[in-house]
Every structure is written in structure tokens, then in C-alpha cells.
Structure 1
Amino acid sequence: MLKKGSKKLINAWSFYDWANSVYSLVISTAVFPLYYSAITKDETVVFLGTEWAHPDSLYSYALSFSFLIVAMCSPILSGIADYTGNKKKFMQFFCYLGSISVMCLFFFKGVETIWVGIICSMLASIGFWGSLVFYNAYLPEVAYPEQQDAVSAKGFIYGYIGSVILLVINLIMIQMPDTFGITAGLASRISFVMVGLWWMGFAQVTFARLPANKTYQKPKKDYIWKGFKELKTVLAEIKDYPTLKRFLIAFFLLSVGVQTIILLATIFGSKELGLETISLIITVLLIQLVAIVGAAVFSRVSKRFGNLKALKITISIWIVVCFCAFLLHKDMPNVSLYFYGLGGLLGLVLGAIQSLTRSTYSKLLPETNDHATYFSFYDVTEKIAIVLGTFVFGFLIYLTDSMQWSVLCLGLFFLASLIIISTLKKTKYVR
């Protein structure tokens, strides 16, 4: 078994970002939202016997529901995983659920199969976020506190590079389908299969090297109830750590904005600003490439000036992004250039804020073996935030028939998070 802090173990852990980030980019952010938007454009769709005049709201609510399921299940699963020492098995299960569901999106061919698109995208979302509960919980086990900022950033950098490579391949197929003897719609559907195979295949590198059983406790007949007891214990412990508790509140507020923007940015550009698909894909690529630099830069900023100051800088930039997006409208001259500029600014802080929040939380944890249970709180906090964010976004679209007010509302969540982060006290590892 590889030793904690070893280069091989750290690289193996980080490589899961390379594997699964293609889902985050191609399915959550780029190709699938645009494919869904094109399929449902000017259409009233029927799902579960209900007509939806705003298909974008249906997609937003479906994502909310998937995150709610993960939020409800992950504390129980992670508690069981901590007690039985089976984090890797749970991580594998969700990885395979997600990757297979993504491949099944191939059968989403039009509005008549909208149920395939909605159900499979929900299951893929559950698989992706469910696996991250256990992936994140490995961070304190693969790296020491002084390594965790850099290791967390390395994971995101791997993810951005891998996902950009596959997105470029998919983009070539979608933009030049005649070269491959297929239609643009079929090219998009083939890209969904490629994402699933990439995710499942490269994840094997991580699964081969991560420790399978950290605690070596033999499961007893009541180990499911032990999971509930572990959860209750951690709930009580968090109340005794005010800095950790306040950080989770701030993390909840910023996650409302971060994840909702990631999920719905391309639909905003398509529907609200009327941008062409190629412009949106270019923006997504720009965000990913700049995010590689941003994650590395802010890792150094946090090392020199501390996590809290680095977080305050990134949150402030997110507030600027939301306000500027609110001011954009489709009739502006050169609106695509402004959108590119916002994409570059967003990319600078996208990887940074995800990396910094993960490593900061890891540093704030008390001495414990229940890493999966503690990280389930982190993930549940994020999922409930996404439930709120995507619901608010979809509901404001329904009320105003515009996404601009939804974006401005997200900026208020960032502002509240910044205020709370500014009140946090410094600790031994977090300053």
C-alpha cells in the first residue's frame, strides 16, 4: 500500500479529476445543455404527464431533484463507509452509475424521448456528485495538511486538462460532422458515449492505487445503524467547532452561486444573449484553460497570504462576474466579446474557489478517522446549496421570463458569503 503523502498516491488520487471532469465540462456545462436547448427550442415538452412551456425550467428542476437525492443519501452512505472502511466501493458504485447513465443519453433523440434525457441526466448527476463525496474524503488520507492546498489544486488542474482534451475532440465532431459521415445531432450523442467511457476507463487508475480499507473494521450486522450513529456524532461535534461551522455556512452561500452558474452558464448565453453554439463552446474552452492557470496561481496566493485572503479575493471576483452578466443583453454590440471577457474572468476564479474551499475545509477538520462522514457534511452543504440555486434560477425564469434577474440574485449569495468569510478567525493551518 502506498504511503500517505507519497507522489504516486497523490497522483493516483488527483487522476480521478482527470477521469470525471469530462462529465462536469461536456455534460453539465457544454455539449448536453446546448443539445437539450436545441432539441427543446420553441417546444412545449411533456414529462410525467405534465406540459412544460419552459423546458429550461424543467431541466433546472431535474438537476435540483438529483442534488436533493445526493444530499439525502450521502450522510448515510458515508457513515457506513467510514465504519466498514469501504469508501472505495461506494466511490466505484457511483462512478459506474454516472458513467453508464451518461452513455445512455445517446438514446435522447428528440422531444418524444425527453424522459430519457431528464432521467439519465439526473442519474448521471447523482453518480458524479455521489462519487465526489468519497473522493473528497480521501484527501486527508492521501496528503498531509501542508500538502493539501497544492494537492487539491493538482486534482482540479488534471481535471481541466483532461476535460478540455475530450471537449476539443467532441467539438471537432460536432462542428464537422460531414467529415465523419454523421449528423451534428448524432455527433453530440456519440460524445455522450465517449464521456462515459473516458470517465469509467481512466477512473481505474485511481481505483488501482487508493487504499481499499482504511479502518479495517469487520462489518457487524447492525453496521447500517452504525452509519446513522456516526452521522449523529459528527453533527454534535461540528457544533463544538465554531470556525468550522461558520465556514460551512459561508461555503453554502457561495456554492449556491458557483455551481448554479457552472450548470446554467451556456443556457444563459444561448437563450438570454442569443449566442451561437461555437461562441459558447469557445467561451467554455476559455474558462477551462484560464481555470488551469487560476487554480495554480491561487494555490500560491493562499500559500503566501493564507486561505482566507485568497478566498475573499476569489469571491469578490465572482460578485463582479454576476453584476456584469446582469448588465449584458443580446442587443449590445459585440456582446459575444463581453461574454468571452466574463468567461476569462470566471475561469480565473473557478478552479481557485473549488480548490481552496476543499482544502480549507480539510484543514479545519478535527483529528478523526471519520473523514467520509465529515466530508459528507461538506458535500451535503454543497448539494443543498445547488438545490436552492437551481430552483431559484428556474423559478425566477418562470416569474420574469428572463435569466438576468436570476444571475443578479446569485451575486447576493456571494456577497453574504464574503461577509461571513471576513469574520472567520485564523487557525494553525488556516489564516
Structure 2
Amino acid sequence: MQKNNPRTINAWCMYDWANSVHSLVIVSSIFPVYFSATARNEQGGDTIQFLGFSIKSSVLFSYSVSISFLLVAFLIPFCTAIADYAGRKKLFMKIFCYTGAASCAFLYFFTRDTLTISVLAFMLSLIGWSGSIVFYNSFLPEIATEENFDRFSARGFSMGYIGSVLLMVFNLTMILFPDMYGITDPSLPARISFLTVGVWWILFAQIPFRYLPDNTYNKKSEGNWIFNGFRELKKVFGQVRTQVNLTRFLLAFFIYNMGVQTVMYVATIFGANELKLPDQSLIMTILIIQLVAIAGSYLFAYLSGRLGNIYALMIGVAVWIGICTGAYFITQEMEFFILAGVVGMVMGGIQSLSRATYSKLLPSDTQDTASYFSFYDVTEKVSIVLGTLVYGLVEQVTGSMRNSVLALLLIFVVGLVLLSRIPSQKVYRIRLDSTGN
């Protein structure tokens, strides 16, 4: 297959456009706000009953994210190994995509009376969303050459931010001006938003499903898929262990991603519960973050070209340390807005550059891209599990989210130290070339 084909690259980027509405509407903005307002007891308090347990709604939200990604971390390696062996990456991507999108649409029925099943649907949407992304990411080394990884990865994230903002603006008009749509039920605009996410996701996913290659390396699925999938996973795991810089990067990524993803998942809850910001301010803040993140993705792609991927990532992690420091002290709405702008600048950049860096560190002749990316995905998901778990535990024990922010600050410091142990990819490749290897 010809690499760097513009039509294929654009189709690949469209999956970011399709699925990023889940990240914005369900994970970061409308759903967390609606969840905080709906997950209340009869007296209006935030301590509720869930499956027989008494728990704060914010802690339940954090734990739901943790459990979802823990399940993904166990499931994905086997799915990717089977997909690589059988040449069925696109099929598995479709299964996870449709599962996640249908679960989002089901959240239309989320009310106080349907809390339990709605939380389970939210968890299933996270599983579908994150599961599909690992297969999506694994297409990058197959459709592009290494010198374009940073640029195309940034383009994908930027497309995701633009698409999600467009749908978000439409949803905001319903939430802020329900009379324009003849809506009288105050809960209906948010619930319609969840439905639109599912429809949008499925609709635009048809573009990458149409143009992405199917079975690039002409794998033949002979014998037992599951048994041979396990063998495939064992083989790739053995290869990963021999790649020194790859394993070092995965460890550093595991640590700093704990902080990055946790901030993304709990920022809205922090603003609502700790700063008592109104719903409209929280949603508009997330919208600002998405817009700024478009520029941030390209900024870090530029920095990686000038300094190398690792040095650019170190700059991003250093900024995250500053963000956590500021978050611990903020008390005013305007301070929250300013901090959100900084978050947006580094959020997209560090995510797109992490994906591109991992792609560069893969063996150049690998055909098991999905299996390799399963290790990246498991690292990411387990880090989310531990990050949100630590955040929730610290809040539960101390009673303050600000103490949880301090825990994230320490996580970023450790991540920065670990990154400093890895040769910058630009410098590393120059050194290899100079030796003639």
C-alpha cells in the first residue's frame, strides 16, 4: 500500500473527528455537569446509594472511569493480538466503535431513577471509545512514513477538536436557549446531547471505515484465532522487552499520563464542587480548552521538529507541573479560565506527540502494529485507572480535591525525571546514522 496518500490520511484523521465528541461531551463537559446535578439523594446531597454502597457522586464518577479502563486494559491486548493474526483490525475497530456510540445514545434515558444502568452505560461508552482508538492509532505506521508521524498525529487531534467543538456549540444552543427548540424539560437538552454524540460518532466513522486499508499485510487467519492470538501477543511482548528506549518511554508515559488524563476527566468536577462554578461557566471553559488545543497540537509538532520528541514532551510535562501548582491555589472564576487556557495548550500537544513518539520507537519492519499499540493503550488505560483512583482516594480520605491536585503534581515530577532518561528521538536517530547503523 502507498504511504502518505492524502485521501487515506484524511480519512484516518476523520476518526478523530468522529470519536472526539465522546471525549468532549461525555467525558469532559456536559455529561459530568449533568451527572453532578442528577446523581443526588432525595435531600439534594451528593452522597448517594449505588449498588448498595453509600458514596459521593464525584468519587463514583472517578471510580467508574477507573473500572472501565481497567477492563479495557485486560481486554485490549487479546483483541489486538487476534486482530493482527487474522488481519481484522478494522473489524475490531468497528465493534468497539458501535458499542461505544450505542452506549452514548442510551444515555438519553439517564435520570435519577435510572442512575445505576446509566452509570453502566457510561462505563460501556468508555470501553467502546478507548477500545476503538487503539486500533485507530495502530494504522498510523501503516499509512504514513516516520517523518510525517508528528504532523499527521497533530492533524488528527486537531480534526478531533474542531469536530467536537462544532457539535458542542450546537448542543450548547439547546442547553442555553431551550426555548428556541420548544424544550420545556430542563433535563432534555443534555440528554439530547448524549444522543447526538452516538449519531455523530457512527455517521462520521463511516469515512475511515471506507478508506482505511483492510489486512495490509495479507495475513491469513488459519487455525484457532484465539489460540494463535495468544501466541502473537507473547511474541510481541518478547520483542517489546528487548526495545530499551521503547520500554523506557512506556514507563515515563505511564507516569505523566496518569496526571494528564486525570486532569481531563476531573477538571469539570473540580470546578463544580471545589470552586462552585455555574454549569454554563464550566461548559464554556471546556469549549475554550478545545479551541486552544488545536494550536497546541501543532505547536508541539513544531517543537518536536526543532528539539526532538523527548525534549518537547519534557517541556509539556513541566508546564503541567505549573498547572497543578496553580490549580492548588486558585479561588476565582477568572483564574480557572486562565488555567484552562494553559491546559488546552499542552493537552492536545502532549497527547498527539506521545502517539507519534511511540510510533517512531516501533521497529521499522513490524507488521503487528495493533499488538504493539495494545501495550501503549494498556499503559495509557492503567495510568488512567491509577490516576483517577489516587485522585478519588485522596479526596475521600482528606475531604479536599486540592490535596488530590498536589498528588498529581508529584506524579508529573516523577514523569519528568523518567523522560529525562530517554535520548531525544531526533538526537538518537542522528547518533545512529553517524555510526553507520
Pick aligned residue for 2:108 from 99, 106, 118: 106
Structure 1 position 40, deviation (Å): 2.1
- Change in 2 beyond 3 A, CA 1:298/1:287: same
Structure 1 position 226, deviation (Å): 1.4
Instruction: Report the TM-score when normalising by structure 1.
Output: 0.96
Instruction: Spell out the pairing of 1:368-383 with structure 2 (5 A cutoff).
Output: 368-383=366-381
Structure 1 position 279, deviation (Å): 1.0
Contact 1:29–1:265 (CA<8 Å) still a contact in 2?
A: yes
Contact 2:252–2:418 (CA<8 Å) still a contact in 1?
A: yes
- Residue deviations 1:79-125 (CA, integer Å, cap 9, x gap): 00111110000000000000000000011111x21112210000000
- Change in 2 beyond 3 A, CA 1:315/1:194: same
- Residue deviations 1:365-412 (CA, integer Å, cap 9, x gap): 112101000000000000000010111111111111111111111111
In 2, Cα distance between equivalents of 1:118 and 1:324: 32
Q: How many residues get paired?
A: 423
Pick aligned residue for 1:272 from 271, 274, 279: 274
Q: Secondary structure at the match of 1:221?
A: coil
RMSD, aligned α-carbons: 1.3
In 2, Cα distance between equivalents of 1:301 and 1:43: 44
Structure 1 position 428, deviation (Å): 6.1
In 2, Cα distance between equivalents of 1:103 and 1:266: 22
Match of 2:400 in 1: 402
Instruction: Spell out the pairing of 1:26-45 with structure 2 (5 A cutoff).
Output: 26-41=25-40, 42-45=45-48
- Residue deviations 1:245-277 (CA, integer Å, cap 9, x gap): 110000000110111111110000000110111
Pick aligned residue for 1:185 from 187, 197, 204: 187
Letter in 2 for 1:50: F
Structure 1 position 223, deviation (Å): 2.0
Match of 2:231 in 1: 229
Match of 1:346 in 2: 343
Letter in 2 for 1:377: F
Letter in 1 for 2:160: G
Which segment drifts farther, 274-283 or 189-198? 274-283
Match of 1:169 in 2: 170
Match of 1:323 in 2: 325
Match of 2:361 in 1: 364
Structure 2 unmatched runs, 5+: 430-437
Letter in 2 for 1:46: Q
Match of 1:21 in 2: 20
Letter in 2 for 1:226: N
- Residue deviations 1:123-161 (CA, integer Å, cap 9, x gap): 000000000110011110011000100000000000000
Which segment drifts farther, 221-230 or 129-138? 221-230
- Change in 2 beyond 3 A, CA 1:429/1:199: farther
In 2, Cα distance between equivalents of 1:395 and 1:12: 41
Contact 1:83–1:215 (CA<8 Å) still a contact in 2?
A: no
Structure 1 position 241, deviation (Å): 1.2
In 2, Cα distance between equivalents of 1:187 and 1:3: 45
Contact 1:15–1:206 (CA<8 Å) still a contact in 2?
A: yes
- Change in 2 beyond 3 A, CA 1:428/1:180: closer
Pick aligned residue for 1:218 from 217, 220, 226: 220
In 2, Cα distance between equivalents of 1:156 and 1:412: 27
Contact 1:96–1:127 (CA<8 Å) still a contact in 2?
A: yes
Structure 1 position 430, deviation (Å): 5.7
Q: Secondary structure at the match of 2:49?
A: strand
Match of 1:91 in 2: 93
- Residue deviations 1:23-57 (CA, integer Å, cap 9, x gap): 000000000000000112414322222232x1111
Q: Secondary structure at the match of 2:54?
A: strand
Letter in 2 for 1:371: T
Instruction: Spell out the pairing of 1:35-74 with structure 2 (5 A cutoff).
Output: 35-41=34-40, 42-52=45-55, 54-74=56-76
Contact 1:246–1:424 (CA<8 Å) still a contact in 2?
A: yes
- Residue deviations 1:305-354 (CA, integer Å, cap 9, x gap): 2111111111100110011101123xxxxx11100100010111011000
In 2, Cα distance between equivalents of 1:128 and 1:346: 22
Which segment drifts farther, 412-421 or 372-381? 412-421
Structure 1 position 179, deviation (Å): 2.0
In 2, Cα distance between equivalents of 1:171 and 1:428: 43
Letter in 2 for 1:36: F
- Change in 2 beyond 3 A, CA 1:60/1:419: same
Pick aligned residue for 1:198 from 193, 197, 200: 200
Letter in 1 for 2:68: S
Q: Secondary structure at the match of 1:259?
A: helix
Q: Which runs of 4+ in 1 moved over 3 A?
A: 426-431
Match of 1:422 in 2: 420
- Change in 2 beyond 3 A, CA 1:419/1:213: same
Structure 1 position 217, deviation (Å): 2.4
Match of 2:8 in 1: 9
Instruction: Report the TM-score when normalising by structure 2.
Output: 0.95
Instruction: Spell out the pairing of 1:272-351 with structure 2 (5 A cutoff).
Output: 272-329=274-331, 335-351=332-348
Structure 1 unmatched runs, 5+: 330-334
Pick aligned residue for 2:383 from 385, 397, 400: 385
In 2, Cα distance between equivalents of 1:425 and 1:215: 31
Contact 1:170–1:191 (CA<8 Å) still a contact in 2?
A: yes
In 1, Cα distance between equivalents of 2:46 and 2:389: 21
Structure 1 position 238, deviation (Å): 1.6
Answering whether residue 145 of structure 2 is matched by residue 147 of structure 1, we say no
